[in-house]
């Protein structure tokens, strides 16, 4: 007996289906079904996954594309027999989705009436009135493609319903077929199905009662069982329908927008012309022979794979950015090609990096070329709007990102479904330690008060593990656009995203990759904004006309690298984090390629894979650089035999373990997702056996595998690192030569980077830059440069509670000589709260004295009587000034606290300095003097806690930064220490640490012993308890 399941919903029918598309097709194939129709509710989000599973596992089952819909009491399944039907389905899903809010849909009769190709399975509701209506209606419009679908789930009074359906079929002359209305691939998923139903209903499972499935019959059932439930005719009919469905996703052909090519030219000739043009710009002295050879090779590859349009699309995009003076930078496997260099997509000079385009776009591997373009974060929207304008919303949309359950969200939702109190769940979520690999979260439950043997706990554990990785909703990809020649909705449904005016397609980037559809990544990067602003400042104040390409073209600047080697990198791109800073003095990058390595190596992947140490040793010549074979040498020589980049791992698998291009591609995807699914394991034997059979030692093979595992999802591609290194260098160059302008630009691009404005300004001051306070008569909205570019004036943007609109009003009405009194300032019409914000920031000190007195005057409501609100010619004479201020002035501690509260920083005395002056910090060593403390000797430091970070790599260790008036100390706290002094560890704002100082080269750490919370000291000093964090 043959059977095709025509109605099956996966977990892409969110919180309803309880199995993945992959599980469903695998199980259906195992049960011997002829075909499986994946019919998620108003969605095709899961079909590519099912398609990939069938191809990769070579499953003997046919995939039918379809979708399930509800319209009032009408329930329908639409199936796609051919490509026209598929386009039709995508269109009506798009229509139904675009009419509604994100996550919902609204089908209309018109949608259904317009169907010409899709097959319809009708599921009667059992309500005679509506069923009669729809039977007539469906018969009228779709009689030749219509079936009444019979279900049998062994539910209450089913015989009567079956009888009723048969009568309907007879009465309206409908064909009948049977279906399973499947929600689970195996009956064992029933508990999970109940759980997701409860999550969807927002109630505990116990309260749902009869809303829950009454049994597990909505699983894929064995053929033997189906034969008992349905007549032979009904079963056969399912195969008849399946046979009519010949559409496969293979047929989807992607067509690039053609308007990019001028008339009279082909894509190929046009690209050729642009590249030739570019060579003149990039190589004014003539193209070196070696480079020309590379260009020819690249062009041949591009033409072989028909990628011309892809390059032209990106070329068009960056041309737009260039015309609007928006700074951009391309990165990714194809971006670092000479062709891209010539098309001005990237500024990475191919001469300086031996990375070859061909290595990324290889013949054997199906991986499509990858070009991400970063734009200034404040202006990326302009680029996106350009895309929408040029191609229209019908042809351009963002790729989706599938938002999935992660541990915490799964625990919260499952817990609620099992009826655990919310406060207990909050408690669990806050306290379960996920970092310690030796202590599973299940083991921790009992320590946190759950009875490990209780049924609820065991159910919680099982369910959380099952729910992890389940999709929750579709969100928008950060910037991946799909652009097509025809309307996109004939290729894939488009739905609304949460952001107004954004639409996303129902597939994510993996799906696009599977179908070999290309996407263009339009990303936002804060550092590009900062660099552009810095260039503008320098043009204005130093008459310098700079560009990224120009700075890189000057070659490696020794002085700049010396600064980097000292880890003087606060504010720099990519190399400013704590981890990076502690590695810089050891790696001592001295040229561009060193930076490429530096950026890629200080990441969780290489650190976990234990690659940092060998690389360091080899770089310092403490370990010999050896290669087990010439092939391996060709892959690893540029990183001294240690695999650091993702590309190297893939290449290793190919050259050393004999992976085919396709297998290597699967490996790459598995690496990206193995934390979630553990998919990597299946490659272990293949990799190790492959390497051993090629004569590599077992130990070496095992090490390579471990390194791949360590890479996990953190693996970083060389092609991206290469582009980032350019920006890292440019930012370093700017900081070295123009510290004031660079800092100003960073602050005006805030929020970005690791550091607060306070830390950036302190760093600038240490580099000899003067910082001037915010002032109602001097400050602009942005930070600005004064004193011939040597001093930074705080901008009004730093004042909390003071809006940009208020600033514009203030600046427009500011007299040339500035405001002379409060009365005049009031007449600008600034709101009371805006004036208060200025007073709090001490920005009024030049016209109304200290904060207390400014506020006292501002609060006087006699001034805000309507009579005085109107602008009068000579206001000063008509308004009686407030009585002379008699309030006491704030003390130094109060001033500092107010500074922090109002601007997040102070230019006055550092709070720690205040405590030191008041003799509250006996024996604490200022950070600047730590260099005089011997290695391994005890030391005491005190400071503001500016960072409390538990890095993913070093389990059980927390990094803390303590800032005092002289600098920032790095404190390392072991788990046991932290636990023993938990309260202080968790809550202190000002901390005193007694510990041991350790020094390695120029890196200094303090290993914490005793922690003392000094947060209360400042409050004591000022009689105020306000928190300044």
Partner 1 sequence: MSALLEQLTRRQLLWHANSQHTAYQAVPSGYAELDQQLAGGFPATGLIDIQTDTGIGELRLLLPYLQQQQSGGRLLVFLSPLAEPCADMLCAAGIVLSQLVIITPKTGKDALWAAEQCLQSGCCASVLLWQVPLKQAQARRLQLAAEQGAASLILLRRPQQGLSLPVNLSIKLQAHRQGVLLSVQKRKGGWPAAPFLVDMQNRWPGLCFSTEQHWQARRKAS
Partner 2 sequence: MALYLYLQFPALQPDSLGCTAAQQLPVAVVNEQHCIVQLNTVAEQQGIALNMALGTAAALCHNLQLLPYQTQLQLNILQSVARQLYQVTADIALDPPDGLYIRLCNMLQLYQGLAGYWQALKHELQLLPYRYYYACGTSPFAAKCLARQQLNLLSGEPDVLASALNHSPLRFTELDTDSQQQLQRLGINTLGQLLALSQAELARRFDSSLLSYLGRLRGSFYHALHYIKPEHSFSRYVELLYDITDTAVLSMPLHSLLLQLEQQLQRINAACHQLQLGLLFRGMPAYQLSIGSAQGEYRAANWLKLCQLQLEKLKLTEPVSGLQLEVTAFVLQQSQSDDLFQPAPSAVSALQLVSLLQARLGYHSVSGLILQNQHLPEHASQRPLPLLAGKAAVAALALRPAFLLAKPERLTEAVEINHGPERLCPNGWVLEAQRDYFIGRNSKGQWLWLYRTAQQQWFVQGIFS
Nearer residue to partner 1 within complex by CB, 208 or 536? 208
Residue 407: CB atoms within 10 Å: 15
**Contact between 160 and partner 1 per CB under 8 A:** yes
User: Which residue, 358, 254, 370, 345, is CA-closest to 300?
Assistant: 358
Which does residue 127 touch among partner 1, partner 2, none (CB within 5 to 8 A, set by kind)?
A: none
Burial of 886 (0-12, 13-18, 19+ CB in 10 A): exposed
User: Which residue, 686, 515, 493, is CA-closest to 55?
Assistant: 515
Nearer residue to partner 1 within complex by CB, 231 or 258? 231
**Contact between 162 and partner 1 per CB under 8 A:** yes
**CA–CA separation, 371 vs 307, rounded Å?**
12
Helices (H), 158-307: 158-172, 190-201, 205-208, 223-229, 232-244, 267-282, 289-305
Nearer residue to partner 2 within complex by CB, 159 or 870? 159
Tokens of 932: 């005089």
**Contact between 173 and partner 1 per CB under 8 A:** no
Q: Build a one-symbol-per-residue string for 101-140: x at contacts with partner 1 by CB under 8 A, - elsewhere.
A: ----------------------------------------
**CA–CA separation, 129 vs 108, rounded Å?**
19
Nearer residue to partner 2 within complex by CB, 155 or 277? 155
Asked if residues 238 and 178 have their Cβ atoms less than 8 Å apart, the reply is: yes
Residue 868: CB atoms within 10 Å: 16
Q: Give the nearest distance from C-beta 238 to partner 1 in angstroms.
A: 14
Q: Give the nearest distance from C-beta 156 to partner 2 in angstroms.
A: 5
Nearer residue to partner 2 within complex by CB, 305 or 852? 852
Q: Give the nearest distance from C-beta 455 to partner 2 in angstroms.
A: 8
Which does residue 230 touch among partner 1, partner 2, none (CB within 5 to 8 A, set by kind)?
A: partner 1
Which does residue 1024 touch among partner 1, partner 2, none (CB within 5 to 8 A, set by kind)?
A: partner 2
Distance of CA 12 to the CA centre of its chain: 21
Nearer residue to partner 2 within complex by CB, 427 or 871? 427
Q: Give the nearest distance from C-beta 226 to partner 1 in angstroms.
A: 13
Query: In the set 48, 119, 234, 295, which binds partner 1 (CB under 8 A)?
Result: 234
Q: Give the nearest distance from C-beta 155 to partner 2 in angstroms.
A: 6
Three-class DSSP category at 221: coil
Q: Give the nearest distance from C-beta 947 to partner 2 in angstroms.
A: 19
Nearer residue to partner 1 within complex by CB, 151 or 218? 151
**Contact between 163 and partner 1 per CB under 8 A:** yes
Nearer residue to partner 1 within complex by CB, 164 or 305? 164
Which does residue 188 touch among partner 1, partner 2, none (CB within 5 to 8 A, set by kind)?
A: partner 2
Nearer residue to partner 1 within complex by CB, 2 or 170? 170
Q: Give the nearest distance from C-beta 162 to partner 1 in angstroms.
A: 6
**CA–CA separation, 295 vs 287, rounded Å?**
10
What is the DSSP code string of 821-879? SHHHHHTTT--HHHHHHHHHTTTTHHHH-SHHHHHHHHH-GGGGSHHHHS--SSHHHHS
Which does residue 187 touch among partner 2, partner 1, none (CB within 5 to 8 A, set by kind)?
A: partner 2
Query: In the set 58, 159, 285, 976, which binds partner 1 (CB under 8 A)?
Result: 159
Residue 18: CB atoms within 10 Å: 30
Q: Give the nearest distance from C-beta 301 to partner 1 in angstroms.
A: 60
Q: Give the nearest distance from C-beta 206 to partner 1 in angstroms.
A: 18
Which does residue 954 touch among partner 2, partner 1, none (CB within 5 to 8 A, set by kind)?
A: none
Query: Who's near 124: CB < 8 A, 6+ residues apart?
Result: 131, 134, 135, 148, 164, 165, 168
Nearer residue to partner 2 within complex by CB, 108 or 211? 211
Q: Give the nearest distance from C-beta 163 to partner 1 in angstroms.
A: 6
Which does residue 888 touch among partner 1, partner 2, none (CB within 5 to 8 A, set by kind)?
A: partner 2
**Contact between 177 and partner 1 per CB under 8 A:** no
Which does residue 231 touch among partner 2, partner 1, none (CB within 5 to 8 A, set by kind)?
A: partner 1
Nearer residue to partner 1 within complex by CB, 166 or 681? 166
Q: How many Cα neighbours within 13 Å face the side chain of 74?
A: 20
Query: In the set 140, 157, 209, 816, which binds partner 1 (CB under 8 A)?
Result: 157
Asked if residues 929 and 921 have their Cβ atoms less than 8 Å apart, the reply is: no
Burial of 645 (0-12, 13-18, 19+ CB in 10 A): buried
Sign of CA dihedral 508, 514, 515, 517: positive
Nearer residue to partner 1 within complex by CB, 140 or 156? 156
**CA–CA separation, 841 vs 776, rounded Å?**
10
**Contact between 230 and partner 1 per CB under 8 A:** yes
Nearer residue to partner 2 within complex by CB, 455 or 788? 455
**CA–CA separation, 1006 vs 1023, rounded Å?**
32
Asked if residues 464 and 64 have their Cβ atoms less than 8 Å apart, the reply is: no
**CA–CA separation, 430 vs 408, rounded Å?**
9
Which does residue 234 touch among partner 1, partner 2, none (CB within 5 to 8 A, set by kind)?
A: partner 1
**CA–CA separation, 744 vs 758, rounded Å?**
12
Q: Give the nearest distance from C-beta 4 to partner 1 in angstroms.
A: 18
Residues at the site binding partner 2, with contacts judged by CB under 8 A: 153-159, 187-195, 207-212, 214-217, 423, 426-427, 430-431, 447-449, 455, 459, 840, 851-852, 855-856, 859-862, 883, 887-890, 894, 898, 982-983, 986-987, 1023-1026
Which does residue 547 touch among partner 1, partner 2, none (CB within 5 to 8 A, set by kind)?
A: none
Stretch that binds partner 1, among 152-160, 321-329, 472-480, 833-841 (CB under 8 A): 152-160
Q: Give the nearest distance from C-beta 851 to partner 2 in angstroms.
A: 7
Q: Give the nearest distance from C-beta 20 to partner 2 in angstroms.
A: 18
Element (H, E) at 386: helix 380-391
**Contact between 231 and partner 1 per CB under 8 A:** yes
**What's the distance, Cα to Cα, between the start and end of the chain in Å?**
71
**CA–CA separation, 669 vs 510, rounded Å?**
8
Query: Who's near 622: CB < 8 A, 6+ residues apart?
Result: none
Asked if residues 45 and 17 have their Cβ atoms less than 8 Å apart, the reply is: no
What is the DSSP code string of 930-944? GGGSPTT-EEEEEEE
Which does residue 812 touch among partner 1, partner 2, none (CB within 5 to 8 A, set by kind)?
A: none
Query: In the set 42, 64, 150, 384, which binds partner 1 (CB under 8 A)?
Result: 150
Query: Who's near 443: CB < 8 A, 6+ residues apart?
Result: none
Strands 62-71 and 74-79: antiparallel
**CA–CA separation, 1008 vs 977, rounded Å?**
8
Three-class DSSP category at 21: helix
Query: Who's near 405: CB < 8 A, 6+ residues apart?
Result: 413, 467, 468, 469, 470, 471, 472
Nearer residue to partner 2 within complex by CB, 299 or 461? 461
Nearer residue to partner 1 within complex by CB, 236 or 485? 236
Tokens of 800: 């909390």
Nearer residue to partner 2 within complex by CB, 514 or 1022? 1022
Nearer residue to partner 1 within complex by CB, 124 or 926? 124
Which does residue 217 touch among partner 1, partner 2, none (CB within 5 to 8 A, set by kind)?
A: partner 2
**Contact between 148 and partner 1 per CB under 8 A:** no
**Footprint on this chain of partner 1 (rule: CB under 8 A):** 150, 157, 159-160, 162-163, 166, 176, 230-231, 234
């Amino acid at each position: 007996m043959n059977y095709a399941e025509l109605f099956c919903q996966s977990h892409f029918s969110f919180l309803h289906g309880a199995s993945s598309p992959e599980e469903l097709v695998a199980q259906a194939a195992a049960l011997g079904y002829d075909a499986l129709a994946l019919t998620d509710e108003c969605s095709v989000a899961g079909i590519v996954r099912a398609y990939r599973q069938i191809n990769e596992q070579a499953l003997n089952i046919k995939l039918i594309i379809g979708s399930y819909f509800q319209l009032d009491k009408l329930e329908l399944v639409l199936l796609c027999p051919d490509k026209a039907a598929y386009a039709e389905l995508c269109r009506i899903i798009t229509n139904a989705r675009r009419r509604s809010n994100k996550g919902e849909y609204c089908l209309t009769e018109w949608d259904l009436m317009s169907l010409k190709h899709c097959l319809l399975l009708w599921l009667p509701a059992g309500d005679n009135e509506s069923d009669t209506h729809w039977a007539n209606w469906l018969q009228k419009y779709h009689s030749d493609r219509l079936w009444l679908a019979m279900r049998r789930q062994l539910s209450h009074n089913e015989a009567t319903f079956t009888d009723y359906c048969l009568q309907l079929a007879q009465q309206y002359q409908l064909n009948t077929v049977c279906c399973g209305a499947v929600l689970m691939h195996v009956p064992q998923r029933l508990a999970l199905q109940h759980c997701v139903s409860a999550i969807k209903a927002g109630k505990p499972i116990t309260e749902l009662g009869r809303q829950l499935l009454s049994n597990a019959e909505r699983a894929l059932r064995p053929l033997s069982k189906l034969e008992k439930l349905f007549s032979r005719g009904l079963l056969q009919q399912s195969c008849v329908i399946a046979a009519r469905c010949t559409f496969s996703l293979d047929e989807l052909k992607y067509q690039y927008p053609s308007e990019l090519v001028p008339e009279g030219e082909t894509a190929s000739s046009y690209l050729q012309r642009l590249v030739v043009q570019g060579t003149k710009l990039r190589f004014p002295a003539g193209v070196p022979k070696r480079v020309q050879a590379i260009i020819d090779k690249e062009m041949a590859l591009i033409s072989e794979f028909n990628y011309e349009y892809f390059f032209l699309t990106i070329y068009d995009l960056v041309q737009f950015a260039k015309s609007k003076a928006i700074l951009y930078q391309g990165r990714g496997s194809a971006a670092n090609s000479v062709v891209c260099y010539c098309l001005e997509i990237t500024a990475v000079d191919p001469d300086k990096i031996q990375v070859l385009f061909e290595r990324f776009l290889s013949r054997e591997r199906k991986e499509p070329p990858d070009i991400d373009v970063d734009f200034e974060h404040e202006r990326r929207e302009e680029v996106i709007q350009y895309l929408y304008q040029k191609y229209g919303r019908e042809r351009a949309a963002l790729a989706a990102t599938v938002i999935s359950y992660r541990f915490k969200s799964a625990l919260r939702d499952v817990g609620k479904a099992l009826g655990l109190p919310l406060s207990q769940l909050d408690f669990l979520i806050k306290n379960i330690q996920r970092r310690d690999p030796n202590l599973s979260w299940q083991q921790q439950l009992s320590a946190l008060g759950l009875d490990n043997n209780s049924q609820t706990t065991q159910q919680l554990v099982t369910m959380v593990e099952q729910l992890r990785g389940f999709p929750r909703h579709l969100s928008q990809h950060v910037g991946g656009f799909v652009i097509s020649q025809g309307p996109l909705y004939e290729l894939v449904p488009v739905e609304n995203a949460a952001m107004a005016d954004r639409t996303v397609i129902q597939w994510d980037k993996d799906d696009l990759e599977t179908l070999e559809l290309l996407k263009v990544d339009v990303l936002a990067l804060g550092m590009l904004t900062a660099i552009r602003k810095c260039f503008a400042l320098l043009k204005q104040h130093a008459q310098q006309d700079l560009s990224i390409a120009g700075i890189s073209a000057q070659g490696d600047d020794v002085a700049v690298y010396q600064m980097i080697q000292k880890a003087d990198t606060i504010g720099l791109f990519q190399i400013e984090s704590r981890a990076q800073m502690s590695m810089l003095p050891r790696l001592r990058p001295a040229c561009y390629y060193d930076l490429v390595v530096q950026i890629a190596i200080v990441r969780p992947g290489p650190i976990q894979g234990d690659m940092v140490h060998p690389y360091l040793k080899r770089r310092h010549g403490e370990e010999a650089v050896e290669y087990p074979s010439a092939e391996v040498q060709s892959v690893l020589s540029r990183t001294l035999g240690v695999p650091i980049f993702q590309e190297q791992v893939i290449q290793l698998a190919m050259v050393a373990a004999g992976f085919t291009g396709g297998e290597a591609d699967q490996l790459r995807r598995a690496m990206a997702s193995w934390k979630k699914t553990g998919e990597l394991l299946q490659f272990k034997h293949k990799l190790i056996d492959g390497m051993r059979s090629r004569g590599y030692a077992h130990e070496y093979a095992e090490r390579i595998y471990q390194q791949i595992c360590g890479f996990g999802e953190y693996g970083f591609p060389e092609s991206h690192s290469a582009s980032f290194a350019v920006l890292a260098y440019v930012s370093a160059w700017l900081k070295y030569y123009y510290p004031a302008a660079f800092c100003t630009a960073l602050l005006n691009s805030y929020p970005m980077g690791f550091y607060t404005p306070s830390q950036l300004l302190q760093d600038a001051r240490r580099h000899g830059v003067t910082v001037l306070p915010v002032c109602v008569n001097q400050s602009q909205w942005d930070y600005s440069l004064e004193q011939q570019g040597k001093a930074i004036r705080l901008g009004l943007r730093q004042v909390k509670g003071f809006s940009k609109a208020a600033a514009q009003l203030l600046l427009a009405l500011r007299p040339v000589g500035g405001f002379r009194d409060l009365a005049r300032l009031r007449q600008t019409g600034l709101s009371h709260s805006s004036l208060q914000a200025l007073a709090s920031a001490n920005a009024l000190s030049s016209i109304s004295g200290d904060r207390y007195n400014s506020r006292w005057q501002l609060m006087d409501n006699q001034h805000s009587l309507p009579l005085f609100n109107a602008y009068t010619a000579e206001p000063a004479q008509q308004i009686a000034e407030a009585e002379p201020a008699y309030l006491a002035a704030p003390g130094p501690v109060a001033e500092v606290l107010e500074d922090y509260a109002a601007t997040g920083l102070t230019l006055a005395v550092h709070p720690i300095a205040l405590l030191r002056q008041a003799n509250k910090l006996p024996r604490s060593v200022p950070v600047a003097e730590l260099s005089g403390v011997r290695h391994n000797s005890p030391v005491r430091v005190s400071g503001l806690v500016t960072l409390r970070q538990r890095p993913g790599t070093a389990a059980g260790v927390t990094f803390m930064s303590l800032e005092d008036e002289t600098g920032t100390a790095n404190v390392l706290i072991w788990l046991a220490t932290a636990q023993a002094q938990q309260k202080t560890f968790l809550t202190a704002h000002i901390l005193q640490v007694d510990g041991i100082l350790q020094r390695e080269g120029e890196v200094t750490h303090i290993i914490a012993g005793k922690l003392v919370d000094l947060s209360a000291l400042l409050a004591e000093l000022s009689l105020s308890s306000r928190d300044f964090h």
